[in-house]
Amino acid sequence: MDTKSFQAAILEGIPEVLPAPKAYEASINHAPKRKEILSEGEKKLALRNALRYFPEKEHGELAPEFLEELNTYGRIYMYRLRPDYEMKARHLEQFPHQSKQAAAIMLMIQNNLDYAVAQHPHELITYGGNGAVFQNWAQYRLCMKYLAEMTDEQTLVMYSGHPMGLYPSHKDAPRVVVTNGMMIPNYSKPDDWEKFNALGVTQYGQMTAGSFMYIGPQGIVHGTTITVLNAGRKISGGKTDLAGKLFITAGLGGMSGAQPKAGNIAGVISITAEVNEKATYTRHSQGWVDEVISDLDELVARVEKAKAAKEVVSIAYQGNVVDVWEKFAEEGIKVDMGSDQTSLHNPWAGGYYPVGLSFEESNQMMAENPDLFKEKVQESLRRHVAAVNKCTDNGMYFFDYGNAFLLESSRAGADIMNDKGDFRYPSYVQDIMGPMCFDFGFGPFRWVCASNDPKDLEVSDKIATDVLEELMQESPIEIQQQMADNILWIKEAGKNKMVVGSQARILYADAEGRTRIAAEFNKAIADGRISAPVVLGRDHHDVSGTDSPYRETSNIYDGSQFTADMAVQNVIGDSFRGATWVSIHNGGGVGWGEVMNGGFGMVLDGSDDAHRRLTNMLFWDVNNGISRRSWARNEGAVFAIKRAMKANPNLKVTIPNMADDNLIDGLF
């Protein structure tokens, strides 16, 4: 489709003449059928809700079709409204627009739904099994039309994928405000999501799926690399050379697919198990995993060969990870590090596949016999944990990767608790990311070149490298390791072929690093070294973005890890300090009702106005979280917020006074 036709299709929105029904494409990786949860009366309500996007004259044709979708897939996706043009990031000038900021948002939405990026593109799901950009294709079409028409004096309001409409605002307001899954607290149980999503009134936006800021597996490769690297340092006395070390994990989906690439960069032997053959071979074809093995004996032999030669190699095991753990435990093979990145935040609807059932059998059972499927999952988790425990008894370091593995295993009755009643294994945030990165303000800063030109990405990489190297000369000893790791990362990023979809990059930086890098990008756009605007963002999994007691805030020990003030304040503060769009979601990497998370996007266009916004907003976006972590008495955060106050005299933060433990203990 040429550019003119593409633009016309976007401006058309929901077509006046219905397009013909589209055939179901079996070659595409589709979402599993959702379980039957609606009563007959609720199904009628779901149909009424879906039909309100269309004039009454079309209801007779669409109603039976939508009911068939609801009965067949458990959701109304409106497949016939899928556009004929290719979903991908384009140069922002190719999108019809009156606002460049809106054009950049369209670019990001399309990138989220790119077939090379999205996990279930026809169901508008980017990653995690249920992380949706929209609930249905009518919402997509309407949203894109609004973005194409909006000016810099309007704001688009998004309610869980539904574009509520364009509202008058002003140029400094966000162009889009996104909320996903904002439920009354007593309605955030897993079955509530199933019900209300099937009704078409809410959705699970995950983190960067529903906020239009996903950049493919690269988005997590860097954090995963840092995690594996520092887990290796923990078991190697601080050494960075991890040659011959074995890391076992699971998951090759949208987020978890980063693990083998990160293992290679960290210099280990990695095994990543995956039950979905399409996911396995997608990652293999993209070069994110080196080898695929489906026989356990062959796998053992390959690992022993790699250990002896101290190879750096990533292996995908096509099959269930429980079989891998049990095989290695039974044979007493030393595993150095272990984790799991199956989507256990979504255990009953395709996030975790139980051992002993095929992929197809599981998909059928979860839809047709959900109670039995739940039993199978929990039985599998008990076996899973038992085998992991044997490997840890043999000297393995195991950490929870923030996917609700510990939480769901405990609910399944697995042997996952210690004598004190706590989880036997730490979250990776507790042991690594929290004290080493988040407390000091380091988190996943990312950018996208809106030209979609690799040359612009190369220039941006060089700018970021130069800024970090300059900053490292001035940095205190407390953050020298973080600086060194990130300089190495950004220098090697191009060589490691990270780009899938948009021309994007990620690195971990603190407020000073983010602000300085963004300011230099803005200058480069102004003087033409970068040919088009740059979109800034971050993962919600960051210093300030997420309140999650079993992941992002698991190293908060003052009792406030179960509160969500930080994430909500973060998004509100970003919105009036210059963000181009903001988002706040119920649910994320550890599950619906278990986390609140927020994010932003910011478009740099080379203007003085963009410089003003980035300077103001990025400082707040990071230091909000450092302040909260400091108040929780985290030593690194106390250091970091005092340093920030010296840098900016307008920042005045309440510093905690430390109680004497002997005084407190003496009272009891």
Q: How many residues comprise the chain?
A: 668
Extract the tokens encoding 112.
């989220």
User: Do the Cβ atoms of 538 and 599 come closer than 8 Å?
Assistant: yes
Integer Cα distance of 533 and 552 in angstroms: 31
Q: Known binder of ligand: residue 165?
A: no
Closest CA to 157 of 146, 149, 141: 146
End-to-end CA gap in the chain = 75
Q: Known binder of ligand: residue 13?
A: no
Integer Cα distance of 505 and 490 in angstroms: 9
Which contiguous run of DSSP H or E holds residue 456? helix 454-474
Q: Is 300 exposed, middle or buried (0-12, 13-18, 19+ CB in 10 A)?
A: middle
Q: Known binder of ligand: residue 589?
A: yes
| Inter-CA distances, 332 with 322, 325, 335, 370, 388, Å | 15, 10, 9, 36, 12
Q: Known binder of ligand: residue 274?
A: yes
Pairing state of beta strands 162-168 and 291-293?
A: unpaired
DSSP 97-108: -S-HHHHHHHHH
Integer Cα distance of 574 and 353 in angstroms: 39
Q: Cβ neighbours of residue 26 under 8 Å, at least 6 residues apart?
A: none
505 forms bridges with which residues in the sheet?
447
Task: Round the CA-based radius of gyration of the chain to a whole number and report it.
Answer: 24
DSSP 541-555: SSTTTEE-TTTTTTT
Closest CA to 550 of 503, 597, 582: 597
- Taking residue 65's Cβ as centre, other Cβ atoms within 10 Å add up to 16
The alpha helices in 286-416, defined as continuous H runs, are 296-309, 321-331, 359-368, 370-393, 405-411
Q: Known binder of ligand: residue 129?
A: yes
Which contiguous run of DSSP H or E holds residue 664? helix 661-665
Annotated binding site for NAD(+): 128-129, 206, 274, 401, 589
Annotated binding site: 128-129, 206, 274, 401, 589
